[in-house]
């Protein structure tokens, strides 16, 4: 095969791109509706909830990191972070060795609202989850979406996917299921010691 030859046709490229676009749009419409309904009692919008989620998993993230991993413009990340700061959910800071970047961290109140949101999650109110249930019933597991993750990795890079994976690992390690809802685990002695500043 010559260097400039492609092993796909323009028609295949168009069909693939449009399938992904149409399916993603339909899926996002449902995700957006379910997400808004979940966070509505907390008077949060999707960007605000996403910022709280990312701030929790990055534990002291810069606004540019929030924007990158939240797939939003830097000004959007900053403006919604300021609103969360005004509500007492985030605190802003600068680092001694980095005066150019603004960093955010969850306050105790921010941690509590995020924890309460996770505890309030109900699979019965999630259309995408319910849409995947027949596959789980048939195959004994939920779709792993490895192909989709590969596409996202090729678009956004390894850093994005590492944060993506870490956030779900943290969720798995930090909560347990009891009586049909999620409950935050008490921090272990080791985890508490890791959070304490070294003397």
Q: What angle do CA 38, 116, 83 make, to 5 degrees?
A: 75
Give the closest residue to 125 by CA, choosing from 38, 19, 29: 38
pLDDT band at 192 (very low <50, low <70, confident <90, very high): very low
For the segment 66-80, the average pLDDT, to the nearest whole number, is 95
For residue 7, give the DSSP letter: S
Question: Could you tell me which of 150, 154, 155, 159 has the C-alpha nearest to residue 62?
Answer: 159
pLDDT per position as a tens digit, 84-118: 999 999 999 988 787 788 899 999 999 999 999 99
pTM for the full predicted model: 0.80
What average pLDDT does range 176-185 have in this prediction?
Answer: 79
CA–CA separation, 91 and 77 (whole Å): 14
Q: Which domains does the chain have, with CATH numbers?
A: 11-195 (1.10.10.10)
The rounded percent of the chain whose pLDDT value lies above 90 is 61
Tokens 């930090």 sit at which residue? Answer: 174
User: What are 118's strand-pairing partners?
Assistant: none
Q: What is the pLDDT of residues 124-159, one digit of tens each?
A: 999 999 999 999 999 999 988 888 899 999 999 998
Residues contacting residue 59 through CB under 8 Å, at least 6 positions apart = 105
- DSSP H stretches of helix in the chain: 10-39, 46-58, 63-69, 74-86, 108-120, 127-139, 146-156, 158-174, 189-195
Residue 79 phi/psi, 5-degree rounding, is: -65, -45
Q: How confident is the model at residue 187 (pLDDT cuts 50, 70, 90)?
A: low
93, two tokens:
């800071």
Per-residue pLDDT at 189 exceeds 90: no
Contact 141, 101 (CB under 8 A): no
């Amino acid at each position: 095969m010559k260097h400039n030859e492609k092993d796909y046709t323009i028609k295949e490229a168009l069909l693939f791109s449009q399938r992904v676009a149409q399916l993603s749009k339909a899926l996002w419409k449902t995700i957006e509706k379910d997400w808004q309904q979940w966070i509505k009692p907390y008077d949060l919008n999707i960007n605000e909830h996403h910022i709280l989620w990312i701030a929790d998993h990055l534990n002291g993230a810069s606004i540019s990191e929030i924007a990158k991993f939240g797939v939003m413009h830097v000004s959007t990340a900053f403006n919604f972070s300021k609103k969360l700061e005004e509500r007492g959910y985030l605190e802003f800071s600068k680092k001694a060795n980095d005066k150019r970047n603004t960093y955010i961290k969850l306050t105790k109140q921010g941690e509590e609202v995020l924890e309460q949101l996770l505890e309030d999650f109900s699979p019965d109110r999630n259309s995408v989850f319910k849409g995947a249930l027949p596959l789980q019933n048939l195959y004994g597991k939920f779709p792993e979406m490895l192909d989709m993750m590969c596409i996202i990795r090729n678009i956004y890079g390894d850093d994005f996917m590492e944060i993506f994976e870490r956030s779900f690992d943290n969720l798995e390690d930090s909560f347990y299921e009891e009586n049909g809802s999620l409950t935050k685990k008490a921090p272990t002695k080791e985890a508490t010691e890791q959070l304490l500043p070294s003397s």
